[in-house]
Structure 1
Amino acid sequence: MARIAFILLTHKDPQGVIDQAKRLTASGDYVAIHYDRRARDEEYRTIEAALSDNPGVTFARRRYKCGWGEWSLVAASLEALRQAERSFPQATHFYMLSGDCMPIKSAEHTHAFLENDDCDYVEAVDFHTGNWIKTGLREERLIFRHWFNERTQKWLFYQSMDLQKRLRITRSAPKGVQVMIGSQWWCLRRQTVEAVLNLIDLRPELVRFFRTTWIPDETFFQTLVSHVVPKTQIRRRSPTFLMFTDYGMPVTFYNDHYDLLLRQDYLFARKISPEAQELRAKLGAVWQAEGMEFAISNEGPRLFRFLTERGRVGRRFAARFWETDGSLGRQNVVCLIVAKKWHVAKRLTARIRALTAIPAVDYLFNEHAAHLPDLGGIASSLSKRERHRRALIRLMFEEFETRQLVMCIDPSALSLIGDFAGDRAQTRILFVDSRFDEDYLRGHMQRIGLSSKGMPEEVVRRLIPVVRSDLEHEAERLRDMEFANFHVISEHASPGLNTAAIMRFLDVPDEIAHDLAATPHLFSD
């Protein structure tokens, strides 16, 4: 049977630490506590007194003053880990937690989960090629020595690094070591912990190297575990659920996140607001529950991205790219079919290609197959099309040998549409005004990853009006921009109105516009 020794790194909320330790040991597990030495001594004495008679609790022999990004966090983790390994010989797993973590599964479920797969859970990707670091220092974390804290000693931190650059004082990782990086929240088996501690004793240069790297808590254990455990026995993910905001800060969970947290495929969650007492109480009860089943839908990250991106319409197409290097040509005409229902727009472009000589492409910035001509490497991937989109449109005019071009655009890309409209080339817009029934909205939510088969029906029903409102808001914002050459077709409009709109949009004879408006099943879902 799995028995867990939790490595609890804390620096505040003594009563919360006490409650957490009592809760975790009540299930037959263990806790090793490191309480930051920067905290007040009376807080530590309160915790020590409250838990002194609990045989499942031990304390790190040495307390460190911990600072973000410093070696002190790793030193504190190692101190508590060594103490747990010595004190709890029956522990089969060692799980790193912070004081802000809470269980989102029962102890019964957690033990069974760890027993069913003989492996270690630690996020560990290659430091140099894994693209884990999104912003800030990269190789500089390793090749230079860091003795100062970037947050509290910024001037010294950067002066020291600049001096090493000027003097060309750099270093490499210890021999035979491939540096890995990932989340500091892991769960390791006893044999892995013993192997890591033994490796540290055998190779003291490992500690010397990581001691002066920047943010070593994201690299130290991740690297060492990867060197002592076969790849097949490592699940490169954290067992703790956490998300980050656009600013790189951890997302904080509150009372109304209870249902969402339980549906994530993780064992604990970080970080729980200290003010969310109701959530903490309910999650504490979950840990002690027996026979409780969990429906996993894992929609947390997708739902968070969806909700935080509301109101940021068009940002994925970046800045105003038409404002540089001239225009698409005053003599050219760009015809944009703006439609949320992509299948409707693509039926229309197919019909345009069949009935006219006007080149018409589909969602070239969203789908690889968009009826593009062979434009070489510039169109080989969506990222290249977006990065070189201005050159791409020019090449299309040249390749098609035309002065008129039709393309499909999603209404969420308002900045892109606005940039086209602001160019010297004439821009015409045909907006496909659609109505969204519940079946379409459910399918749309699945297509964009906002829902999954495992998501509870209650959550889906709550999201449907939110998604509908967002789609309708996109249409309203498009109308509010009051473009000069703006035309609308709709399944609810008369054939005559749709014909007139298409005739003006494409500048084609009435009979061709009529045939286009009469495209079979044009608006069908």
Structure 2
Amino acid sequence: MTGPVRLGVVLLCHTDLRLAARLARVWTDGGARVAVHVDAKVGAAQLAGLRDALKDCGGVVFSRRHRCSWGRFSLVRATQDAAAELLRQFPDTTHVYLASGACLPLRPISDLVAYLAADPDRDHIESVSAHDVGWTVGGLNEERFTLFFPFDWKKQRWLFDRFVDWQRRRGIRRKMPAGLSPHLGSQWWCLTARTLHAILDDPRRAEFDRFFRFAWIPDESYFQTLVRRHSTRVESWSLTMAKFDHTGRPYLLYDDHIPMLAESRCFVARKVWPGAARLLAHFPQPDEGHRQVDPPQPARISRIINQTVRRRVLGRPGLYMQSRFPRKDAENGKTSAPYAVIQGAGDIFHGFEGWLRRHLSCEVHGHLLGPEGAEFAGRTATGPGAISADARIRDRDPQGFLTSLIRITERMQVFQFGPRDNQALNWFMATDPNAHMLVVTGAWKLPLLHSAMPFDDVRRIFAQLQRIELEHLDVLNSVWVRARLHQYDLGEFLMNPKPILQDFMLQIDPHSAPVTTLPAMRDLTGLDGMLRRLRNSGLRPRLTGEDLPPIELLTNERAAAE
């Protein structure tokens, strides 16, 4: 190609024609010629307003109107007719840029012209083989070519899905026209007039149009496929920055995007919000007279948008929101930070909670899931973040109670747990990698030892608590456990409690105070007799009863350890 670059723009307008008129003038003020296609669904009054707004603007033509629908061939037909009209009215056009009525030029049009002039024979269009593409969202890759799509995806979704399923069952498979290899890409491109003429004037165009008429979303495949037939100099990259969310919807650009867009050095961005007054006033950047042909650098804004998509899809760790709350395992981590659960130690030692608080730099609570209510540190009626200690409020959503407490506090949360507590979170905590659990099985027996309750009541409560703990142990012994679990039976723990507690405390708080002394242990006198009497009454004590060492041995072992 010789001679200067003469830029033409095909502008596809569907809504907000006032914005489209403003952007069309930006293109013409930069020296481009513009062919405007207005969706046939737009009313005559709006069209007249657009024509009136551009009547003094040279280099603007209007093409034959088509009624456009998303994902239908009508969008391709509108582009074909507008491009043909542009090339007919302005035969010296060298490059044609496809844009929408919401595509905002960011840099001077002269920069874009200079960039194209640096390599005037190159076509700029994203064109990726359908066999390799992986960026389609909620759609089809190869099947969009091999199946028939006569129904509108948005307006006739039920028929669309049923017809696709029926074709799959029947093994229907259309063949691509000879000489074509299916490609996909962004619908926004910039082609040389030579390549565009070759596509529009191809002697087999009627055959190609007939095939793509029943493809799905042909505006993402028609020109992307045919450019490979007519061009050998394809830059597979769109000059329009168009970013999409995880559902495939384009991001809207607002006033607060100005710094990032300026830094991106992109030529054109889509899709601008019509009410972004400062954004529209800021761009395109003024033409300072010297041409800058540096390529777009959208890496930073792409990285920020990708992070936004991840945050939108995954959410913040441990933060549950409406879009994912009902769906199991759809959360980004069960909880937002590590926490510790201690089961049994409070039943063995008097004043264990206060002793633990003196050794750790964590927030140490009592039984947060206790039957009378949440035992916050200091036994306040309202915990951090105005979380109520009322058991009725807590038990309406125990998971929300715990995850909110962990998320809203800065320090690590440590609390006591046992078979007397609400067991609704057993699976939740056991499968949470943030949970540190110290479990001493059978320790709940010790408060019953000197409870002074009638034996029948002791037997009933013993059976109930033992059954609850056995069910909990089934959870803790499952293959799905992800918590950092330290589990001991009562006898094993009582033989050597100091190093067990020290190791666990160092794991949850590396700066914890060394364990030099232990709090006073409950009196174990009479434990053997209570277990024997329970066995003789027909109840079988489990877990620690049969294997518990003699009380004298436990007493001697502890004395030696201290």
Q: How would you bin the TM-score normalised by the shorter chain? A: 0.5 to 0.7
The whole-number CA distance in structure 1 between the counterparts of 2:25 and 2:107 is 17
Q: 1:177 to 1:56 in 2, by over 3 A?
A: same
Residues 257-296 of structure 1: matches in 2 within 5 Å?
A: 257-284=257-284, 286=285, 288-291=287-290, 296=297
The whole-number CA distance in structure 1 between the counterparts of 2:27 and 2:507 is 63
Q: 1:485 to 1:196 in 2, by over 3 A?
A: farther
Match of 2:508 among 487, 492, 506: 487
SS in 2 for 1:188: strand
The whole-number CA distance in structure 2 between the counterparts of 1:305 and 1:166 is 37
- Amino acid in structure 2 at the alignment position of 1:313: P
Q: Does 1:417 align with 2:433?
A: yes
What's 1:144 paired with?
A: 147
5+ residue gaps, structure 1, are 324-413, 430-482, 499-525
What's 1:92 paired with?
A: 94
What's 1:368 paired with?
A: none
Cα deviations by residue, 1:167-188 (Å, 9 ceiling, x for unpaired): 4433111112100001000011
- The answer on whether the counterparts of 2:31 and 2:109 sit within 8 Å (CA) in structure 1 is no
The whole-number CA distance in structure 2 between the counterparts of 1:78 and 1:497 is 79
Q: Does 1:133 align with 2:149?
A: no
- The answer on whether the counterparts of 2:432 and 2:483 sit within 8 Å (CA) in structure 1 is no
Q: 1:256 to 1:208 in 2, by over 3 A?
A: same
Q: 1:202 to 1:246 in 2, by over 3 A?
A: closer
What's 2:51 paired with?
A: 48
The whole-number CA distance in structure 2 between the counterparts of 1:415 and 1:16 is 53
Q: Which of the pair has more CA radius of gyration?
A: 2
The whole-number CA distance in structure 2 between the counterparts of 1:224 and 1:423 is 60
SS in 2 for 1:206: helix
What's 2:71 paired with?
A: 69
Query: Once the 2 structures are TM-superposed, how far is the Cα of residue 213 of structure 1 from its aligned partner?
Result: 0.6
Query: Once the 2 structures are TM-superposed, how far is the Cα of residue 420 of structure 1 from its aligned partner?
Result: 9.4
Residues 88-487 of structure 1: matches in 2 within 5 Å?
A: 88-118=90-120, 119-199=122-202, 201-230=203-232, 233-284=233-284, 286=285, 288-291=287-290, 296=297, 298-310=299-311, 311-313=315-317, 417-418=433-434, 424=477, 428=484, 486-487=507-508
5+ residue gaps, structure 2, are 320-328, 335-429, 438-474, 486-503, 516-562
SS in 2 for 1:263: helix
- The answer on whether the counterparts of 1:132 and 1:182 sit within 8 Å (CA) in structure 2 is no
The whole-number CA distance in structure 1 between the counterparts of 2:47 and 2:482 is 71
- The answer on whether the counterparts of 1:428 and 1:486 sit within 8 Å (CA) in structure 2 is no
SS in 2 for 1:299: helix
Cα deviations by residue, 1:4-46 (Å, 9 ceiling, x for unpaired): 1111000122222222222211121110000000011111122
Cα deviations by residue, 1:107-145 (Å, 9 ceiling, x for unpaired): 222111111123111111111222232433333322222
The whole-number CA distance in structure 1 between the counterparts of 2:135 and 2:308 is 24
Cα deviations by residue, 1:272-324 (Å, 9 ceiling, x for unpaired): 1011011111114x155544878957300111233454543389xx7699x9x
Q: 1:415 to 1:84 in 2, by over 3 A?
A: farther
Query: Once the 2 structures are TM-superposed, how far is the Cα of residue 484 of structure 1 from its aligned partner?
Result: 8.6
Q: 1:91 to 1:147 in 2, by over 3 A?
A: same
Cα deviations by residue, 1:436-473 (Å, 9 ceiling, x for unpaired): xxxxxxxxxxxxxxxxxxxxxxxxxxxxxxxxxxxxxx
Query: Once the 2 structures are TM-superposed, how far is the Cα of residue 225 of structure 1 from its aligned partner?
Result: 0.5
- Amino acid in structure 1 at the alignment position of 2:433: I
- Amino acid in structure 1 at the alignment position of 2:12: L
SS in 2 for 1:102: strand
What's 1:30 paired with?
A: 33
The whole-number CA distance in structure 1 between the counterparts of 2:163 and 2:206 is 25
Q: 1:484 to 1:32 in 2, by over 3 A?
A: farther
- The answer on whether the counterparts of 2:107 and 2:265 sit within 8 Å (CA) in structure 1 is no
The whole-number CA distance in structure 2 between the counterparts of 1:172 and 1:102 is 39
- The answer on whether the counterparts of 2:433 and 2:484 sit within 8 Å (CA) in structure 1 is no
- Amino acid in structure 1 at the alignment position of 2:305: F
Cα deviations by residue, 1:346-397 (Å, 9 ceiling, x for unpaired): xxxxxxxxxxxxxxxxxxxxxxxxxxxxxxxxxxxxxxxxxxxxxxxxxxxx
The whole-number CA distance in structure 2 between the counterparts of 1:177 and 1:206 is 9
Alignment root-mean-square deviation, CA = 3.6
The whole-number CA distance in structure 1 between the counterparts of 2:199 and 2:435 is 56
- The answer on whether the counterparts of 1:10 and 1:36 sit within 8 Å (CA) in structure 2 is yes
Query: Once the 2 structures are TM-superposed, how far is the Cα of residue 71 of structure 1 from its aligned partner?
Result: 0.5
The whole-number CA distance in structure 1 between the counterparts of 2:431 and 2:36 is 52
Query: Once the 2 structures are TM-superposed, how far is the Cα of residue 99 of structure 1 from its aligned partner?
Result: 0.9
Instruction: Tell me whether 153-162 or 414-423 shows the greater mean CA deviation.
Output: 414-423
SS in 2 for 1:128: coil
- Considering Cα pairs closer than 8 Å and 6+ residues apart, tell me whether 1 or 2 has the greater RCO: 1
SS in 1 for 2:177: coil
Q: 1:23 to 1:265 in 2, by over 3 A?
A: closer
The whole-number CA distance in structure 2 between the counterparts of 1:171 and 1:277 is 48
Q: 1:36 to 1:426 in 2, by over 3 A?
A: closer
Count of residues in correspondence between the two structures: 348
Q: 1:290 to 1:209 in 2, by over 3 A?
A: same
Cα deviations by residue, 1:35-89 (Å, 9 ceiling, x for unpaired): 00001111112222333453311111x2111000000011111110111111112
Instruction: Tell me whether 95-104 or 415-424 shows the greater mean CA deviation.
Output: 415-424
- The answer on whether the counterparts of 1:104 and 1:268 sit within 8 Å (CA) in structure 2 is yes
- The answer on whether the counterparts of 2:183 and 2:225 sit within 8 Å (CA) in structure 1 is yes
What's 2:405 paired with?
A: none
- Amino acid in structure 2 at the alignment position of 1:303: I
The whole-number CA distance in structure 2 between the counterparts of 1:237 and 1:163 is 36
SS in 2 for 1:84: helix
What's 2:400 paired with?
A: none
The whole-number CA distance in structure 2 between the counterparts of 1:228 and 1:9 is 24
- The answer on whether the counterparts of 1:24 and 1:31 sit within 8 Å (CA) in structure 2 is yes
